[in-house]
Structure 1
Amino acid sequence: MSSIMDSVNQRTQLVGQNRLELLLFRLNGKQRFGINVFKVREVLQCPPLTQIPRLNALVRGIAHIRGQTISIIDLSLATGGRKIENLENGFIIIAEYNRSVQGFLVGSVERIINTNWDAILPPPKGTGKASYLTAVTEVEDELIEILDVEKILNEISPLKTDISDALAATLNVKSSAGKIIFIADDSSVARNQVKKALTTLGLEIETAKNGQEALTRLKELASETGDVTDKVGILVSDIEMPVMDGYTLTAEIKNNPELAKLRVVLHTSLSGVFNQAMVKKVGADDFIAKFHPDELATAVEKWLGSDSKEK
């Protein structure tokens, strides 16, 4: 199974073209799920797990993998299903989210598919706030579900969202009073984390669930004056989003005269040197790994206070 990841580094050209690759897997039933290949470090047969007292109920144990101790989360349990019983036949997807490495226990791993972000759609209406879906897509006439991993991780170990008192005392965003801070992220948990961190600064927040929704709204705001920066102070955008990803959204903004002066901060759980290169390629102003409220607030203040005419 490790060979399934061997060519990941050769696929980086997909990113920035509104394309991605999904690793497909199953939990207990027939339903197939997908995870972005760029989140995945490794896939392996489930190793022996060590039990530790007082672990979260969703964590089946810890594993020692390549010199690192990793918590193994049962994705079936985490999404309200029954636990994966046969560990010996299960697989572990080692992934990196929000500056940490986790192992996700799944029933089986299938293959990698190549698709477009515009084929990745928001979950059907009516799934409700309790749903763990962040997006869906169709492969071979079958619905593939993409889980909101950030929501799962936040339920296991909630992230701090408050800006530290020391930093809050030094920040000055008064010059941007009345301007919108625009947030684009498909994860409801991530949107709320960013919103809570920045609302404490007294900033007005508007959100969108994907890149296309954000672009449409920004164009509406720009049409009122001819320059979106008259209304919007900064855009904080995720990279992985259905319909239109953050790289494509940024490129669309920078190529539109009415939007081009808008500062764009890409805020993502994706990591690595490659993303830094993509930031420059599409013209984003900054790149921040999720999620640290002080770093986010510092970046927002920096770009709000910068001269938009420098470009």
Structure 2
Amino acid sequence: MSASSIQKDIDERTNLTGSNKFEMLLFRLGLSAGSERSELFGINVFKIREIVAMPPVTAMAGAPQHVLGVVNLRGQVIPVIDLPAVVGCTPQTGLNIMLVTEYARTTQAFAAESVEDIVRLDWNQILSADGTVARGYVTSIARLDGDQNSTRLAQILDVESILQRVLPNEAVEVKAETVGPTVAIKPGSVVVAADDSFVARSMIEQELRVLDLPFLMGKTGQEAWNKLLEIAADCEAQGIPMHDKVAVVLTDLEMPEMDGFTLTRNIKKDPRMRGLPVVIHSSLTGDTNENHVRSAGADAYVAKFAAKELADVLRSVLARYGHLPA
């Protein structure tokens, strides 16, 4: 499948958020270390701005490891990351394709060997991956044929982890002087959080600790939903409102089993969870994605990962819903 035809599909198919489904670009990076196979990798179409044939790259003195250099793409200078080198693959035909992506309001490009296809999947076809897979750079595994016994798999890359390790961003550092004073919520209540990225979970947990906010952390939307259902049942049995136990839900959008859109809609439809605020915390940025967040009923949106912005939004939402002391 040509890059131009895949680009056309991307342009036509970025409005799929209604039913726990998403579309994934499949691509190859070359032979895996110690293997004679070229494995399939995937990335959410939402994150792809465009796909182009690899242009000339200008090397930069002192560039971080795995950064090939920069390219000038219609007046915008963006870094190009050697994705096969990051995950330990060896291209057989060269770095032929450049995937231009948008994460957390920044633009970067990833060099790849070839693109394959775009497939439509349900998030329940996605399974969490073990942290040892591809040096911890794989967040989940996709069963492409929808069959639990299928052997046709694709590895979904944890691009947040890759970017943070290759191009560290000082803005993500969680410091007390940056995020501000601790936040006091009703005793016995917690923040329920969910994110499938190991790096993202680590940063969220660090920030919540600095803010002195107790939390329950999950890796998927389904884990968070199961925990909320359990808390809802306990609150119902005790005859107390759920907001006595849960102050806010902080969720990613892209997660195995159940995405953040579906989790948000489930919360907003359940009468037991009335008054439970939801904050979306995602690397999917841009007007289109932020409009989708609002349509799902979320109370706020924060782009990953800006420590002060996240703290400010949490304070604002908690105050709006009366979870902070007067």
TM-score exceeds 0.5: yes
101-110 or 9-18, larger mean C-alpha shift: 9-18
Give CA deviations for 1:163-206 in whole Å, capped at 9, x if unaligned.
462651xx462244442112110001001111112211111121
| Residue of 235, 248, 258 corresponding to 1:225 | 235
Gaps of 5+ in 2: 32-37, 146-150
Alignment coverage as a number of residue pairs: 304
Q: How far 1:308 sits from its partner (Å)?
A: 5.5
- 2: CA distance, partners of 1:107 / 1:175: 50
In structure 2, relative to structure 1, the CA distance for the partners of 1:129 and 1:94 (3 Å cut) is closer
Q: How far 1:129 sits from its partner (Å)?
A: 9.8
- 2: CA distance, partners of 1:244 / 1:202: 28
- 2: CA distance, partners of 1:126 / 1:95: 23
Say yes or no: does 1:104 pair with 2:110: yes
Question: Which residue is 2:28 aligned to?
Answer: 26
Give the TM-score, by structure 2 length: 0.87
- 2: CA distance, partners of 1:167 / 1:133: 29
Say yes or no: does 1:188 pair with 2:198: yes
- 2: CA distance, partners of 1:86 / 1:129: 21
Give CA deviations for 1:101-146 in whole Å, capped at 9, x if unaligned.
11111111111111111111111x5747942211111225411110
Q: How far 1:279 sits from its partner (Å)?
A: 2.3
Aligned-residue identity in percent: 38
- The one-letter code of the counterpart of 2:124 is D
| Residue of 135, 149, 155 corresponding to 2:140 | 135
In structure 2, relative to structure 1, the CA distance for the partners of 1:52 and 1:13 (3 Å cut) is closer
Question: Which residue is 1:118 aligned to?
Answer: 124
Please provide the CA RMSD for this pair: 2.1
Question: Which residue is 1:95 aligned to?
Answer: 101
Gaps of 5+ in 1: none
- The one-letter code of the counterpart of 2:53 is Q
Give the TM-score, by structure 1 length: 0.91
Q: How far 1:275 sits from its partner (Å)?
A: 2.2
Question: Which residue is 2:34 aligned to?
Answer: none
Question: Which residue is 2:35 aligned to?
Answer: none
- The one-letter code of the counterpart of 2:143 is E
Is this contact kept in 1: 2:101–2:107, CA < 8 A? Answer: yes
Question: Which residue is 2:281 aligned to?
Answer: 267
Question: Which residue is 1:300 aligned to?
Answer: 314
| Residue of 145, 152, 168 corresponding to 2:155 | 145
How do 1:62-81 and structure 2 match up within 5 A?
Answer: 62-81=70-89
- 1: CA distance, partners of 2:176 / 2:245: 28
- 2: CA distance, partners of 1:64 / 1:126: 35
